């Protein structure tokens, strides 16, 4: 990688913001509910100002910082790191199957389809690193296999970069939509991910540094697992004993989502996981 194509906070932030705004999202929140949420949100913020006796100088710094987050395109990053976990916690209250986790800012829909047994698209240098054989089954809540289920997998490379959010990577590097076999099984070979440092050269990094926090997420795989007639699961999987598993800046780990891979004689790390999907209704 050269200095000119090195990814930056504003580079990945701008890409994440453009992808997100292209979706034109909406929610059918009734006006009364919206008013109640808005009232409590502003109430909480005003309470903090009064409790901490925030000064005009501090208020202006806040204003500038909010402007910087927007101009740097970092709202997807900031919100997904510090807020999304609570939204996911609410969703989790109505789910019985495999635990979910946050989506984060770097999902891209419609990654190329791959067969149940496959190797993820990766560069020669990704292939030279430690490799993980991730296999298992997608089932209903009774353990019946779901053939033709989709396992969308995306993750960072060993340097912590996601394709389509860093200009030096091939478009679909370490992204794929795996289709399970008739028994719902899959076996995916991919590069073992490394811990991920959220970009520190922008306002989100500044926010973390100013309070002596750390910008790290544990090494993780992102997944969306889906099958017709089932609630899709958006989740992440982590690695036991890995750095930051107990102290994720994004508060997105759960004990049920920690893998225990075993390294074989052939040098491959192997682990199995089962995804149980809730019925849609």
Is the sign of the CA dihedral 239, 240, 244, 245 positive or negative? positive
Name the minimum Å distance from CB 239 to ligand MBD. 14
194's contact among ligand MBD, Fe ion, none, with CB below 5 to 8 A by partner kind, is none
CB closer to ligand MBD out of 76 and 121: 76
Query: Quick one: which segment of 47-55, 104-112, 132-140, 181-189 binds ligand MBD (CB under 6 A)?
Result: 104-112
Burial of 268 (0-12, 13-18, 19+ CB in 10 A): middle
Name the minimum Å distance from CB 174 to Fe ion. 11
Residue 172 near residue 112, CB atoms below 8 Å: yes
Q: Is 104 in the site for Fe ion (CB under 5 A)?
A: yes
Q: Is 13 in the site for Fe ion (CB under 5 A)?
A: no
Give the CB-nearest residue to ligand MBD.
104
Name the minimum Å distance from CB 196 to Fe ion. 6
Which one of residues 102, 133, 233, 257 is an interface residue with ligand MBD (CB under 6 A)? 102
C-alpha 121/C-alpha 159 separation (Å) is 16
Q: How many residues bind Fe ion (CB under 5 A)?
A: 1
C-alpha 209/C-alpha 207 separation (Å) is 6
CA dist 130 to 55, 263, 267, Å? 51, 10, 8
Q: Is 233 in the site for ligand MBD (CB under 6 A)?
A: no
**Nearest C-alpha neighbor of 71 from the set 25, 19, 17, 8:** 17
Residues in contact with ligand MBD by CB under 6 A are 77, 80-81, 102, 104-106, 196, 198, 217, 250, 252
């Amino acid at each position: 990688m050269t200095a000119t194509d090195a990814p930056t906070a504003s580079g990945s932030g701008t890409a994440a913001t453009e992808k997100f705004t292209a979706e034109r999202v909406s929610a059918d929140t009734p006006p009364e509910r919206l008013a109640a949420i808005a009232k409590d949100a502003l109430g909480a913020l005003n309470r903090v100002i009064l409790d901490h006796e925030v000064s005009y100088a501090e208020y202006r710094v806040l204003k500038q910082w909010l402007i910087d987050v927007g101009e740097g395109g970092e709202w997807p990053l900031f919100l997904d790191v510090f807020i999304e976990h609570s939204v996911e916690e609410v969703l989790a209250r109505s789910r019985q199957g495999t635990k979910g986790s946050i989506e984060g800012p770097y999902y891209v829909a419609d990654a190329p389809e791959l067969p149940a047994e496959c190797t993820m698209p990766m560069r020669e240098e990704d292939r030279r690193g430690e490799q993980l054989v991730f296999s298992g089954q997608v089932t209903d809540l009774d353990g019946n296999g779901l053939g033709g289920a989709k396992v969308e997998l995306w993750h960072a490379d060993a340097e912590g970069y996601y394709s389509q959010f860093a200009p030096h990577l091939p478009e679909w590097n370490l992204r794929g939509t795996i289709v399970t076999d008739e028994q719902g099984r899959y076996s995916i070979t991919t590069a073992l991910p490394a811990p991920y440092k959220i970009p520190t050269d922008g306002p989100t990094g500044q926010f973390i540094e100013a309070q002596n926090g750390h910008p790290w997420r544990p090494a993780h795989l992102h997944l969306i697992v889906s099958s017709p007639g089932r609630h899709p699961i958006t989740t992440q999987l982590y690695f036991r004993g890995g750095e930051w598993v107990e102290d994720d800046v994004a508060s997105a780990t759960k004990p049920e989502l920690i893998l225990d891979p075993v390294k074989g004689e052939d040098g491959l790390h192997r682990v199995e996981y089962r995804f149980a999907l809730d019925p849609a209704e």
